[in-house]
């Protein structure tokens, strides 16, 4: 069987698609149809590479669920024509897009690898070329005629992470991302070291289902010592609110004062789903371990376990669109759907 793969590069925007005008020093987007001229090394991969771009490449700070859906639709439309996909994306919200796509692309049996860079592709010290070349190699990687990666991944600085386990942790180092609660799927050195037992197992006989309707009437509420009753009451009283990601301390702890618990309980009774995740960069929530989280568990707060903020947020958007009863919503949210939690 041929090792050659057909890979589609999807350019959404971001630093990786910029080149520097050496006369003015300004960054400008280049025509991705001319990609091979800028990165001739891609020819060494022996894959057939095609490109497609957003009509208007965008800064990832402007990314929203409409754009998640646009990326998912491009993948859906081209799913049978290509063996793998690389999504070139600004790094700031890349982990959100990777997490969202993992939930939107049900029964995914091909690689969807997101990557970007800290420096533009035309910069002398750029990280763009390595990230792009290896991400493309991984998107076309086969073993015994089958695609090796069958999930949404995020590749940056020599490591492929599970997309919905990744977070951006540094704004200026080349090692911008980490996966605090799950080891890298692939480490790129002289050779590609694939951690096969960690890869998501997928039933390749099932048809791809693309979920395009995400509900974004949600908010992230980060607790801090001194957050007051009036602020929380006002925020949670928003009439259109459907979900809250509650970032608590340590293993899921929060104030156990009556006013705080009562506001949360009233909000849950209104039909708003509240998910408890930790503010810590690693580890997860274990409600009931300490007295300060026991009352949260009792009133029906959902455990986000070891979810990242990005995964919790996009999983909430995805599940809200399913019109589930509260108990069913809680059960499913606390269940790993795409390898996003333990």
Query: What are the distances in angstroms from CA 304 to CA 37, 38, 86, 130, 267?
Result: 45, 43, 29, 34, 18
Query: What are the distances in angstroms from CA 196 to CA 103, 148, 151, 324, 328?
Result: 22, 8, 13, 35, 33
Burial of 211 (0-12, 13-18, 19+ CB in 10 A): middle
Q: Are strands 273-278 and 302-303 parallel, antiparallel or unpaired?
A: parallel
Question: Whose CA is closest to 310, among 341, 285, 332, 288?
Answer: 341
Say whether 313 is catalytic: no
Catalytic residue among 12, 15, 93, 251: 15
Can you say whether the dihedral through the CA atoms of 102, 105, 106, 108 is positive or negative? Answer: negative
**Residue 187's CB: how many other CB atoms inside 10 A?**
14
Q: Strand, coil or helix: what is 164?
A: helix
Half-sphere exposure of 84 (CA within 13 A, CB side): 29
Q: Strand, coil or helix: what is 6?
A: strand
Number of H helices, E strands in the chain: 9, 20
Extended beta strands in the chain, E state: 6-11, 18-20, 27-29, 48-53, 84-88, 105-106, 112-115, 142-143, 146-147, 152-156, 159-162, 167-168, 177-178, 186-188, 192-194, 209-210, 218-222, 243-248, 273-278, 302-303
Q: Which residues are catalytic?
A: 15
């Amino acid at each position: 069987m041929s090792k050659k793969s057909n890979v589609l590069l999807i350019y959404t925007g971001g630093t990786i698609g910029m080149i520097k005008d050496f006369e003015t020093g300004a960054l400008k987007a280049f025509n991705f149809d001319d990609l091979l001229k800028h990165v001739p090394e891609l020819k060494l991969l022996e894959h057939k590479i095609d490109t497609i771009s957003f009509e208007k490449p965008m800064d990832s700070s402007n990314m929203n669920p409409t754009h998640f859906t646009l990326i998912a639709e491009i993948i859906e439309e081209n799913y049978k024509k290509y063996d793998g996909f690389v999504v070139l994306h600004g790094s700031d919200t890349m982990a959100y897009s990777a997490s969202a796509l993992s939930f939107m692309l049900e029964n995914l049996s091909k690689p969807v690898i997101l990557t970007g860079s800290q420096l533009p592709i035309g910069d002398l010290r750029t990280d763009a070329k390595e990230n792009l070349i290896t991400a493309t190699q991984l998107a076309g990687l086969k073993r015994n005629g089958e695609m090796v990666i069958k999930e949404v991944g995020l590749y940056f600085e020599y490591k492929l992470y599970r997309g919905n386990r990744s977070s951006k942790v540094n704004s200026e180092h080349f090692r911008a991302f980490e996966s605090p609660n799950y080891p890298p799927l692939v480490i790129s050195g002289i050779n590609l070291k694939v951690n096969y037992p960690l890869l998501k197992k997928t039933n390749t006989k099932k048809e791809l289902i693309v979920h395009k309707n995400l509900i974004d009437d949600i908010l992230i509420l980060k607790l801090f010592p001194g957050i007051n009753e009036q602020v929380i009451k006002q925020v949670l009283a928003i009439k259109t609110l459907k979900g809250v990601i509650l970032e608590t301390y340590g293993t899921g702890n929060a104030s156990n004062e009556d006013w705080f618990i009562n506001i949360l309980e009233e909000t849950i009774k209104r039909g708003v789903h509240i998910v408890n995740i930790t503010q810590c960069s690693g580890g997860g929530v274990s409600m009931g371990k300490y007295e300060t989280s026991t009352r949260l568990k009792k009133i029906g707060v959902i455990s986000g376990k070891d979810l990242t903020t990005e995964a919790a947020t996009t999983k909430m958007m995805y599940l809200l669109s399913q019109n589930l009863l509260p108990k069913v919503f809680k059960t499913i949210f606390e269940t790993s759907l795409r390898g996003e939690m333990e």
